[in-house]
Every structure is written in structure tokens, then in C-alpha cells.
């Protein structure tokens, strides 16, 4: 096996939760999102009901909002990271919306077969916090 391939697998595996783990870590989410920040995306966590929350952990529903400051990005460039976020959230995952132009579009079945043929300006993932 190629050494780089093994390192890539190990990096992806560190986000797997233990069998009985149910707590979602904001730090792990931010760590996964570092790849998005490298592509020029800004990542913010909010309570679903209000964007002014200083401590989103106090709310039942959290929104991971990622958006581009300058240039939109192709789905293929962020797909793996988005799927890694969804897999980390597990059964606490609620929904995924992506921004196309001036509107957000809901994706019913977010998985490896999801094909978005548009340039994306941002996306929003919601998950249950409690």
C-alpha cells in the first residue's frame, strides 16, 4: 500500500465516532471544515433559530453555514468534505441546502451519488444538538 494512501485513510478515520458516542464536538466539525477554509470558504456555526448566538451548544438545532467570500466553487471540490460532515453527524443530521444564485436549494438524499451540476456559493447543514 502507498504511504500517502494510508495517511489519507487515517485522516478520514479520525472523524469516526465510537459505537456509543452521541455527543457532537464543535471542534471536530471545525477540524473537518478546515479543508473548506483552505478553498476560501468561511465556516460559521449558529443556532438554527437565530444567527446571533454566541454559544450554539445551548440550542437543540445547530446550523453549519459555509459560504464563499469571492468566487463560487464547484460541488466536486467540496463533496467529500460535506459527506464527511454528514457521516460524522450520523443520525443527528437534519438537512442540507446549497446556495445557487440568490436561493437555497434543498437536497433530499445527500450521499456519494449526489450530483450538483451548478456552481455553489455556499451551503447550510442543520443537525440536532441534543
Going from N- to C-terminal start, the domains of the chain cover 23-128
Alpha-carbon torsion angle 1, 87, 38, 71, nearest 10: 130
Total-model pTM: 0.74
Return the C-alpha cell found at 13. 478515520
Confidence of residue 60 (pLDDT cuts 50, 70, 90): low
Q: Are 28 and 88 in contact (CB under 8 A)?
A: yes
Least-confidence region, from 9-18, 72-81, 100-109, 113-122:
9-18
Return the C-alpha cell found at 63. 446550523
Amino acid at each position: 500500500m502507498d504511504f500517502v494512501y494510508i495517511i489519507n485513510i487515517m485522516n478520514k478515520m479520525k472523524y469516526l465516532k465510537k459505537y456509543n458516542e452521541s455527543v457532537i464536538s464543535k471542534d471536530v466539525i471545525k477540524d473537518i471544515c478546515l479543508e473548506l477554509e483552505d478553498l476560501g470558504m468561511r465556516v460559521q456555526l449558529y443556532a438554527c433559530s437565530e444567527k446571533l448566538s454566541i454559544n450554539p451548544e445551548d440550542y437543540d438545532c445547530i446550523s453549519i453555514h459555509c459560504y464563499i467570500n469571492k468566487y463560487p466553487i464547484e460541488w466536486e471540490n467540496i463533496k467529500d468534505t460535506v459527506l464527511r460532515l454528514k457521516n460524522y453527524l450520523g443520525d443527528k443530521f437534519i438537512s442540507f441546502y446549497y446556495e445557487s444564485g440568490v436561493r437555497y436549494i434543498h437536497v433530499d438524499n445527500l450521499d456519494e451519488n449526489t450530483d450538483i451540476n451548478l456552481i455553489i456559493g455556499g451551503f447550510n447543514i442543520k443537525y440536532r444538538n441534543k
